[in-house]
Chain A
Amino acid sequence: MTRVAVLAGGRSPEREVSLRSGHRVASALRTRGHDVVLLDPSETPFVESISAASVSACFIALHGKEGEDGTIQRLLDLLELPYTGTRPGACERAFDKVLAKEAMDAAGIPTPAWAAVQVVALRDLAAGPILHRIVERLGLPLVVKPSRAGSAMGLSFVEREADLPHAVMNALSFSDAAIVERRIDGPEVAAGIIGGVEPLPLVEIVAKDGIFDYAARYTPGATEYFAPARLAPEVAEACRLQAADAFAALDLRDVARMDLLVDAEDRPWVVDVNVSPGMTDTSLLPMAAQAAGIGFDELCDRILSLALARASG
C-alpha cells in the first residue's frame, strides 16, 4: 500500500472549493487501495506534518494562490517530495493570467485580445485614463477578471465604458492586476488533459442564467453540462488541439483544464488555464473523464500514478 498525502484547504478564497476537492480525491484514492493522509498546508506546522507523514507523493488538490502559483510546488521540491501537476515556474506563469496570456500570444495560441491593468500603475503612475484607451483598442463588450484568482471570483462583464472602473476595482480586490479581455460570444467548453491519455472529450457549459460565475459553478443544477460538447466534430477537434498546444506551450505537466470559447466563425479561443482543476462534484475535469469512460476513482489514481512514477524514477 502506497502512503500518499492529499493537500487541500489553504487560505486562498477557494479554500472551500479545495476542501471539497480534497475530500473527494482522498476518498477515491482510499478506494483504490492507497493509504491516504489529508493535509491542509495552512494548518501549521505544515513542513513538520508533511515530513512526519512520510509519504511517497502528494496529490495537490489546492486551488488558487499558493496552491496553483508555484508556492507549494517549490516547497515540495525542497522537501524532495514528488507531487501531481506542473513544476513551480510553469505554475507561476499559468496561474498569472498576464504571464499566461503573453506566453500564449508568443506561441500563437488564440486567446482574446486583452490588456492588463496593474494596481501599482493606477496608484503610483496615475494610470486611470488608460481605461479609455483600452476600450478604444478592444471595443465592447469586455470581460474583466483578476490576473491571479480562480473559480470566476472577481469576474465581471462590461457592456458600457462607464462600468469599466467598477469592474476593474472588483477584480483588483482579488489580485494586484486585472485582465481586461474582449468578450467572445459563443459556446463555452472545458478541455481536460491528463498526461499519457488521449485528450478527453470536451464538456460544454450552459449556465442557466447565462453567466458561469461562482454560484453557477458550485450550485448543483444551476448549470447544464454536455459531455461530449454539442459541437461539430471538426470544431471540437480544433478546440482539443488548441488546448493541447496551450498545455505544451505553457510547459504543463500531468493534468490541466483549459477553458475555451467558440466564436460565431467556429474559432476556438483559450480563455483560462488551470493547473489544479477542480475535483468537486460539480467540477469539469471529472465530467470529461467520465465521458471518456474513466471514473472518478480511476481518474485520481491515474493522476497520482504520474507523480509516483517520478518518485520511483
Chain B
Amino acid sequence: MAEFTVDPYADRYARRTAGMSASEVRALFAVASRPDVVSFAGGMPFVQALSTEHVLEVVGSVIAERSEVALQYGGGQGSPLLRERLAMLMAEEGAAADPEDLVVTTGAQQALDLVGKVLIDPGDEIVVEAPAYVGALSAFGAYEPRFVQVELDEEGMIVERLEAALVRGARPKFVYTVPNFHNPAGVTMSRRRREQLVALCREARIPIVEDNPYGLLRFEGEPEPTLRSMDPQNVIYLGTVSKVFSPGVRVGWALAEPGVLQRLVLAKEAADLCSSNLNMLITERYLAGERWRTNLEGLVGIYRARRDAMVEALGRHFPADATWTLPRGGFYVWVVLPAYFDSANLLAAAVERKVAYVPGTAFYPDGRGRDRMRLAFCYPTEDRIREGVRRLGELLSDEEELYRSLSG
C-alpha cells in the first residue's frame, strides 16, 4: 500500500508557497498567447514602436566603449549616472529626487519584493486597493501579510474607507497604491484624495508605497503631483523604465529615506548582488539626450489611439448594463459587468472565440471580482482591438441570453 510520492519535496516547502499553485486561468493563457487570439490580457508595452536603428546604436556604443564595465559586476545600488537619469525621469513628473536616495532594481517588480522583504512580518496588515495590481499581491503575498483592501472609485482610493478601517482597528505596516492610471482599474487618484491620503498617513504614521509605472503615459489633462513630492519622508516611491523604454532591460527603482534605502540596498544585494551592468548602461544611454522624449511622445499617441478605439468599441458592443473606466493614460480599462457574469469561468469560452482578458478575480486576494475584467489596450492594433471587443461583446450577449433562459 505504498503512497505514491509525486513530489519528494512536498513536506519541505515553506508556508509562503501555499498560494503558489497551478490554475485553470494560467493554463488558458497558454492558449491565449497564440497569434490568432486578440489578447487584452497582458500589459505588454508596444516595443515595436522603438526604432531598431536607435536601439542598435545605443547597444553598439555600450559594447564598443564600455564593454569592460558592461560585462562586469556592478554596485548594489546601481550606477550613479543611471540613477541621475532616473531622478530626471521623476523630475518630469515634478518629483524632486536625489540620486543618492535611489536604488536600481530588476524592474519595479523587484522593488515590490524588496519592500515586502524589508517591511512585512508574517501576519502584518498591509493596505492595498480593491482591486490591486496582481504582481504586488504576489510579491507581498510571499511575506505572508494580511491584506486589507480599500475600495477605489474614479478618483482613486477612497481615503474615507481607509480611515474607517483604521478606526475599526487596522494597523497596517504600509499603504500600497498605484495613483496614476491604475493597474487594473485605469483610474487616477484626484488631487483631493492625494492630499487626504498623505495627511491621513502622516498623522497615523503609516508609510505609503507609491508605485508609478505609468505616470509618463498621459493622454490628456494635467499631471497630479506625486505622493512622494507631497511628503518625501513618508513615501517610498517605485518607478520603472519598462513603459518609457523597454521592459526587456528590467530596470526599475525605489526611492526612499536613508534608513529604508540602506535596507533595500542590502536586501537587493542579498537577492541578486546587483542589476545587470549591461542593461543599466543601455538604459542610461537611451535616456541621455532628447531622443527618448520624442519616442515617448510617439508611444503616447499610439496608446491614446488604442484607448480611443477600445472605449468606442466597448460602447458599441458591450451590454448596456456594463460599465467601464475611462483611463486618461496607461494601459488598462476596467470593466464591471452585471453580477451574474463570471469572468473567470467565461475565459475558456472567450479563448475559444479567440479573445482573452484577465478575470477580475486576479486582483482581489479574497476571491471577489468575478463580475469584473481587465482589458489591456496597449498591445493590439486599433483594428484588432475593435475586432477583439466585438468578439467579447458577442460572447457576453450570448452569455446573457443563457443566463436569462436559466433563471427563467
Is A127 an interface residue when CB atoms closer than 8 A count as contact? yes
The digit string for A41-60, where 1 denotes a CB below 8 A from any CB of B, is: 01000000000000000000
On whether the beta carbons of B23 and A214 are closer than 8 Å, the reply is yes
- Chain B residues closer than 8 Å to A138, beta-carbon distance: none
Contact of A173 among B1, B30, B349, B401 (CB under 8 A): B349
Is B2 an interface residue when CB atoms closer than 8 A count as contact? yes
On whether the beta carbons of B402 and A169 are closer than 8 Å, the reply is yes
| Cα-based distance from A11 to B35 in the complex (angstroms) | 12
The digit string for B1-42, where 1 denotes a CB below 8 A from any CB of A, is: 111101101100100000011111011101100100000000
Is A196 an interface residue when CB atoms closer than 8 A count as contact? no
On whether the beta carbons of A174 and B348 are closer than 8 Å, the reply is yes
Q: How far is the CB of A283 from chain B (nearest CB, A)?
A: 9
Q: Which A257-287 residues sit within 8 Å CB-CB of chain B? A: 281-282, 287
Tell me the nearest residue of chain A to B347, going by C-beta: A173
Is B399 an interface residue when CB atoms closer than 8 A count as contact? yes
- Which of A26-34, A225-233, A299-307 participates in binding chain B? A225-233
The digit string for B374-408, where 1 denotes a CB below 8 A from any CB of A, is: 00000000000000000000000011011101111
Is A311 an interface residue when CB atoms closer than 8 A count as contact? no
- Which of A14-22, A67-75, A100-108 participates in binding chain B? A14-22
On whether the beta carbons of A225 and B6 are closer than 8 Å, the reply is yes
On whether the beta carbons of A13 and B13 are closer than 8 Å, the reply is no
Contact of A214 among B2, B4, B24, B30 (CB under 8 A): B24
The digit string for A195-213, where 1 denotes a CB below 8 A from any CB of B, is: 0000000010000000000
- Chain B residues closer than 8 Å to A203, beta-carbon distance: 4
On whether the beta carbons of B402 and A42 are closer than 8 Å, the reply is no
Is A3 an interface residue when CB atoms closer than 8 A count as contact? no
Q: How far is the CB of B232 from chain A (nearest CB, A)?
A: 43
Is A186 an interface residue when CB atoms closer than 8 A count as contact? no
Is B345 an interface residue when CB atoms closer than 8 A count as contact? yes
- Chain A residues closer than 8 Å to B402, beta-carbon distance: 119, 122-123, 169, 172
- Chain B residues closer than 8 Å to A174, beta-carbon distance: 348-349
| Cα-based distance from A34 to B94 in the complex (angstroms) | 65
Contact of A126 among B21, B28, B405 (CB under 8 A): B405
Contact of A287 among B4, B346, B399 (CB under 8 A): B4
Q: Which B149-180 residues sit within 8 Å CB-CB of chain A? A: none
- Chain B residues closer than 8 Å to A281, beta-carbon distance: 6
On whether the beta carbons of B345 and A170 are closer than 8 Å, the reply is yes
- Chain B residues closer than 8 Å to A224, beta-carbon distance: 3
On whether the beta carbons of B27 and A214 are closer than 8 Å, the reply is yes
Q: How far is the CB of A46 from chain B (nearest CB, A)?
A: 14
Interface centre among B1, B24, B399 (most CB of A within 10 A): B24
Q: How far is the CB of B94 from chain A (nearest CB, A)?
A: 45
Q: Tally the A-B contacts, defined by beta carbons under 8 Å.
A: 111
On whether the beta carbons of B406 and A131 are closer than 8 Å, the reply is yes
Contact of B348 among A13, A165, A215, A217 (CB under 8 A): A13
On whether the beta carbons of A221 and B7 are closer than 8 Å, the reply is yes
- Chain B residues closer than 8 Å to A76, beta-carbon distance: none
- Chain A residues closer than 8 Å to B347, beta-carbon distance: 173
Q: Which B347-384 residues sit within 8 Å CB-CB of chain A? A: 347-349, 351
Known: A15-B31, A220-B10, A224-B3. A122 touches B24 (CB 8 A): no
| Cα-based distance from A195 to B349 in the complex (angstroms) | 36
Q: How far is the CB of A216 from chain B (nearest CB, A)?
A: 8
Tell me the nearest residue of chain B to A152, going by C-beta: B24
Tell me the nearest residue of chain A to B37, going by C-beta: A11
Is B257 an interface residue when CB atoms closer than 8 A count as contact? no
Contact of B22 among A12, A19, A128, A215 (CB under 8 A): A215
Is B124 an interface residue when CB atoms closer than 8 A count as contact? no
New A-B contacts (13) at CB < 8 Å, excluding given A220-B6, A221-B7, A282-B7: A11-B31, A122-B405, A123-B398, A154-B348, A165-B407, A166-B342, A173-B345, A173-B346, A215-B21, A222-B21, A226-B4, A228-B1, A281-B6
Binding site for A on B (CB under 8 A): 1-4, 6-7, 9-10, 13, 20-24, 26-28, 30-31, 34, 342, 345-349, 351, 398-399, 401-403, 405-408
Binding site for B on A (CB under 8 A): 11-17, 19, 42, 119, 122-123, 126-129, 131, 149, 151, 153-154, 165-166, 168-170, 172-174, 203, 214-215, 217-228, 230, 281-282, 287, 290-291
| Shortest beta-carbon contacts, A-B, top 7 | A221-B10, A220-B7, A218-B22, A225-B4, A165-B406, A219-B21, A16-B30
